[in-house]
C-alpha cells in the first residue's frame, strides 16, 4: 500500500530533525509547485534504520536507571551510553539510547521525545549510531557546548554557562 504512506496530513514526530534536513525543508518550500516529495538526502539514508537516539537536555543528575525506567516504555534497550564531561567523567546532560529495532526508536521519538524526564523536557533525535568518543562533551571545558555560554541559570545543568562563570570569577579577583 505505498499510496497510503504518502504525504501525511499532519507532521510526523518521528522524523530526524537534524540541521541538515531543516535546511532541506526550507529549500523545498521555495519550489513548492515543481516537486512535492523531498528526495532523500545522505542524512536520511544514514538514519533510515537508525536504532539509536540522541537524548538531550537531561539534568546532570539524571541517572541511568531513571533513563532506563522511562525509555524502556518504548521497547527493550540494547545499550545506554551516558554523555560525560570530557575531563571529569561525570554526566553532562545527554545520552545515547540504543534499541533493538528501528521501530522502537521511531516510537520513542513519537511518544517520549518532548516529554519530561526528571522534570525537564527532554529532546530526542534519531542518531546514526554511537561511536567511541561521542560520549564526551565537546565544549571547551569538557561539557556540552551549550553549557559554555548559557546566560541563564539552570540548576540541573551546573548553574550558568561555564564560560560565564569563569568571567565572573575573574571579575571578582580584580575587585
- The burial of 19, by beta-carbon neighbours within 10 Å (0-12 exposed, 13-18 middle, 19 or more buried), is given as exposed
Least Å from the CB of residue 10 to other proteins: 4
Could you tell me where the beta strands, DSSP code E, fall in the chain?
Answer: 52-56, 77-84, 91-99, 116-117, 120-121, 123-127
Least Å from the CB of residue 140 to other proteins: 14
Alpha-carbon distance of 22 to 173, in angstroms, equals 44
How distant, in Å, are the alpha carbons of 5, 6, 22, 133, 158 from that of 2?
A: 5, 7, 25, 40, 49
- Which member of 27, 31, 80, 163 binds other proteins (CB under 8 A)? 80
Q: Is 75 in the site for other proteins (CB under 8 A)?
A: yes
Q: Is 95 in the site for other proteins (CB under 8 A)?
A: no
Alpha-carbon distance of 116 to 102, in angstroms, equals 22
**x-or-dash string of contact with other proteins, 19-58, rule CB under 8 A:** x--x--x--x---xx--xxx-x---xx-xxx-x--x-xx-
Q: Is 172 in the site for other proteins (CB under 8 A)?
A: yes
Least Å from the CB of residue 48 to other proteins: 5
What is the total count of residues that contact other proteins (CB under 8 A)?
A: 101
Closest-CA residue to 55 (of 115, 132, 12)? 115
Q: Is 91 in the site for other proteins (CB under 8 A)?
A: yes
**x-or-dash string of contact with other proteins, 130-149, rule CB under 8 A:** x-x--x--------xxx--x
Sites for other proteins among residues 99-118 (CB under 8 A): 100-104, 106-107, 110-112, 115-118
| Side-chain-facing half-sphere of 72: CA atoms under 13 Å | 11
Q: Is 128 in the site for other proteins (CB under 8 A)?
A: no
Amino acid at each position: 500500500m505505498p499510496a497510503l504512506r504518502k504525504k501525511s496530513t499532519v507532521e510526523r514526530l518521528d522524523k530526524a530533525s537534524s540541521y541538515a534536513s531543516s535546511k532541506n525543508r526550507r529549500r523545498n518550500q521555495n519550489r513548492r509547485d515543481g516537486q512535492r516529495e523531498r528526495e532523500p538526502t545522505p542524512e536520511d539514508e544514514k538514519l533510515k534504520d537508525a536504532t539509536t537516539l540522541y537524548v538531550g537536555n537531561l539534568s546532570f543528575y539524571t541517572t541511568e536507571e531513571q533513563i532506563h525506567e522511562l525509555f524502556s516504555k518504548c521497547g527493550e534497550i540494547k545499550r545506554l551510553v551516558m554523555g560525560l564531561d570530557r575531563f571529569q567523567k561525570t554526566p553532562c546532560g545527554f545520552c545515547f539510547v540504543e534499541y533493538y529495532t528501528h521501530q522502537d526508536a521511531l516510537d520513542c521519538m513519537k511518544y517520549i521525545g518532548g516529554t519530561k524526564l526528571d522534570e525537564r523536557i527532554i529532546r530526542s533525535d534519531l542518531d546514526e549510531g554511537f561511536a567511541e568518543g561521542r560520549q564526551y562533551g565537546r565544549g571547551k571545558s569538557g561539557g556540552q557546548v551549550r553549557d559554555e555560554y548559557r546566560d541563564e541559570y539552570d540548576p540541573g545543568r551546573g548553574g550558568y554557562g561555564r564560560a560565564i562563570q569563569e568571567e565572573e570569577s575573574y571579575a571578582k579577583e580584580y575587585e
